[in-house]
């Protein structure tokens, strides 16, 4: 009987603690950061004085789901950077656990895929921890509000990783367009399957 109570307790408490982490959700305020891009420059969101906000996306070189979204992210940047919302991709994967996600590989990937957006290296994984990112891709749409970075949308890019043409819910694009036109965002949070973030093994 005691064994079942113990399991029951774990069964109730464990899911609750998962939510108790400080993962950003819409309405929270996000931290800026200082991360190296593929050109060796140190980049902070504060440098983008003309931007109205940012499409921050936890990304990497190796995840097949990320690869499915490569073209889409390039297009999203083309569409929204000129409107004040550039894409900022961040690789937080540990190269020890995932050698394909090293800085050198990031430079190769950015060049091969013609990334026109910032691709930053979160070597210490501190930014991923701060934001509460758990998989790739994982989007955090931010807006500049009252001199701070407000989280407006967290989650998936759209509703079909496999087939871009079949995706009919463009969660991220809709959220950005809502911000641009001053309308409320219909879905401020969605979930999506992706590769787990590769945390450093201690």
Partner 1 sequence: MKVRYLIFSLVVLIAGSGASLTVSGQKVEYIKTADLEKILKNKEDKLSVINFWATWCAPCVKELPHFEKISKEYNRDEVTFFLISLDFPSEIEGKLIPFLKKNKITHEVVVMTDTDYNLWIDTVDPGWQGNIPATLVINNAKKIRSFHPEELDEKQLRELINKSL
In the complex, the residues that contact partner 1 under the rule CB under 8 A are 3-4, 7-8, 10-11, 14-16, 18-19, 23, 63-65, 68, 134-135, 138, 155-156, 159-163, 166, 169, 171, 190-197
- Which residue, 7 or 116, is less far from partner 1 as judged by CB? 7
Asked if 149 and 29 touch (Cβ cutoff 8 Å), the reply is yes
CB of 18 to partner 1, least distance (A): 3
User: Are 80 and 55 a contacting pair, CB within 8 Å?
Assistant: yes
CB of 33 to partner 1, least distance (A): 20
Shorter beta-carbon distance to partner 1: residue 148 or 191: 191
Residue that has been written with the tokens 């990304």 in this structure: 59
**Tokens coding 16:** 């609750």
CB 77, min distance to partner 1, A: 23
When the beta carbons of 42 and 186 are compared against partner 1, the nearer one is 186
Smaller CB separation from partner 1, 51 or 90: 90
* Cα gap 116→143, rounded to integer Å: 21
Least separation in angstroms between residue 175's CB and partner 1 is 13
CB of 51 to partner 1, least distance (A): 26
Tokens representing 184 are 């409320």
Of 95 and 138, the one with the shorter C-beta distance to partner 1 is 138
Contact at 8 Å (CB) between 198 and 93? yes
Tell me the two tokens of residue 174.
């809709």
How far is it, in rounded angstroms, from Cα 92 to Cα 75?
Answer: 22
How many of the other CB atoms lie within 10 Å of CB of 79? 14
Q: Can you list the alpha helix ranges (DSSP code H) found in 42-152?
A: 64-80, 103-112, 126-131
């Amino acid at each position: 009987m005691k064994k079942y109570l113990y399991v029951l307790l774990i069964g109730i408490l464990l899911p609750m603690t998962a939510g108790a982490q400080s993962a950003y959700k819409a309405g929270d305020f996000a931290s800026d950061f200082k991360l190296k891009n593929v050109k060796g420059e140190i980049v902070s969101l504060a440098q983008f004085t003309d931007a109205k906000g940012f499409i921050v996306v936890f990304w990497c070189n190796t995840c097949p789901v990320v690869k499915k979204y490569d073209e889409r992210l390039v297009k999203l940047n083309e569409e929204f950077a000129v409107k004040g919302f550039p894409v900022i991709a961040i690789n937080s994967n540990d190269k020890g656990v995932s050698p394909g996600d090293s800085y050198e590989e990031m430079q190769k990937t950015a060049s091969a895929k013609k990334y026109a957006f910032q691709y930053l290296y979160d070597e210490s994984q501190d930014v991923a921890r701060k934001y509460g990112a758990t998989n790739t891709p994982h989007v955090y749409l931010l807006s500049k509000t009252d001199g701070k970075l407000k989280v407006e949308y967290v989650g998936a890019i759209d509703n079909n990783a496999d087939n871009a043409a079949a995706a009919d819910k463009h969660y991220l694009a809709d959220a950005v367009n809502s911000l641009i036109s001053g309308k409320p965002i219909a879905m401020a949070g969605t979930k999506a399957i992706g590769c787990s973030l590769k945390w450093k093994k201690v």
